[in-house]
Amino acid sequence: MKNKIIYIGLVCCYILAISCSTDEIDTFNTKDNVYFTWAEKRPDNTYPHQYIDSLGMTFAFMPQTTTDIIFKLPISVQGKLSQQAREVDVKVREESTAKKGVHFDFPDQLTLRANSHVDSIPITLYRTPDMKSSTFTLALELVANENFSVNMEDKIIDEQTGETRNYTVFQISMNDILQTPQHWSSGYFGVFTVKKMLLMGELLNIPMDYYTHQVAIPEIEYHGQFMQRYLNEKTAAGETIYEEDGTPMAMGIFVQ
């Protein structure tokens, strides 16, 4: 039995010696993946569990002198750092309704900086007259090249509808239409209308994009009370302010 154990040990050593006799050992090697960063991480980091592969923007809350903006769309690499800058290929998908050179532009040659896992695509968005009545979409798709693969699999986010989140396609919607801002409080401000927003901006001396940002409740309450008091005074003076549909302008139920 002892001799048998010694024999098995010698055989194992012999097999190990043969397997290690080669000068090179093959290792796993594949191209790095490039993908849109926000599919993994929200731009504002407010809700880390929510991810996006599309985004809407409007010029409506910007000063009328603003004719264009540069929007930086982040991209990331799943893989190793490189000491050289690497070219990234991106194409405009056919379903896009925005036109290059009219509604948007971006450089013909895009690169990921050396020694970096994250960079961005600088997209110039132009404010055009047709955005006053229409929303245009720009769908960008990352394309594989000699530097990168695009093998990040879409993630199913709704099993019932089959809705997915895409890592290699990102859609931007753009317009110049004034719509209800994110932090508009209907309890204090009532129904959103363009006329009301313009009047509030004038009387409260606040910019058009004020309620696209987080606003403290005491300030919201003050704005609502101030505006309702102003509207009441105008009505008492026989100068009722009406909405475009002919109804008297009113603030929210919390300040009535």
Q: pLDDT tens for residues 70-80?
A: 999 999 998 88
Instruction: For residues 127 and 215, state if they share a domain.
Output: no
Q: Could you tell me if residue 68 is inside a domain?
A: yes
Do 169 and 214 share a domain, yes or no?
no
Domain-located, residue 10 = no
- The model's confidence at residue 179, banded by pLDDT at 50, 70 and 90, is confident
pLDDT of residue 27: 45
* Residues 104 and 226 occupy one common structural domain: no
Same domain, 131 and 195: no
- The per-residue pLDDT for 139 is 97
pLDDT at 14: 45
Domain boundary among 109, 141, 175: 175
The verdict on residue 83 lying in a domain is: yes
pLDDT at residue 199 in the model: 95
> How much is the pLDDT for 157?
63
Q: Does pLDDT of 18 surpass 70?
A: no
Q: Is residue 76 part of a domain?
A: yes
Mean pLDDT of 50-76: 90
Are both 170 and 208 inside the same structural domain? no
Which of the two residues, 119 and 51, has the higher pLDDT score? Answer: 119
Full residue range of the structural domain in which residue 146 is found: 32-175
Kindly state whether residues 212 and 147 are assigned to the same domain.
Answer: no
**Mean pLDDT of the chain, nearest integer:** 86
As a whole-number percent, the residues of the chain with pLDDT over 70 amount to 82
Instruction: Establish if 90 belongs to a structural domain.
Output: yes
Span 171-180, mean pLDDT? Answer: 93
Residue carrying the six token digits 């050593």: 13
Residue 11 pLDDT > 60, yes or no? no
Residue 113 domain-assigned (yes or no):
yes
Q: What is the CATH number of the domain that holds 102?
A: 2.60.40.2030
Into how many domains does the chain fold?
2
Interval 126-161: pLDDT, tens: 999 999 999 999 999 999 999 999 988 777 666 676
Identify any residues that bridge with 138 across adjacent strands, giving them in sequence order. 172
pLDDT at 45: 57
**Strand pairing partners for 167?**
none
Residues 140 and 162 in one domain: yes
Do 76 and 197 fall within a single domain? no
Can you say whether the dihedral through the CA atoms of 3, 5, 10, 14 is positive or negative?
positive
Same-domain check for residues 141 and 42:
yes
- Is 6 contained in some domain? no
CA dihedral 36, 38, 43, 49 (to 10 degrees): -170
Identify the burial level of 31 via C-beta atoms within 10 angstroms of its C-beta, where 0-12 means exposed, 13-18 middle and 19 or more buried: middle
The pLDDT-based confidence of 252 (bands split at 50, 70, 90) is very high
3-state secondary structure of 200: helix
Examine the domain organization and report whether 132 and 236 are in the same domain.
no
- 68-78 β-sheet, strand order: 104-105, 118-126, 68-78, 32-36, 148-149
Question: Of 175, 198, 227, which residue constitutes the final position of a domain?
Answer: 175
Percent above pLDDT 90 for the chain: 65
* 230 and 196 within one domain: yes
171 and 45, same domain (yes or no)? yes
Q: Each residue of 190-220: pLDDT tens digit?
A: 999 989 999 999 999 998 889 988 899 999 9
Tell me what pLDDT residue 8 has: 47
Q: Is residue 11 part of a domain?
A: no
CA torsion, ordered 83, 150, 57, 52, to nearest 10 deg: -110
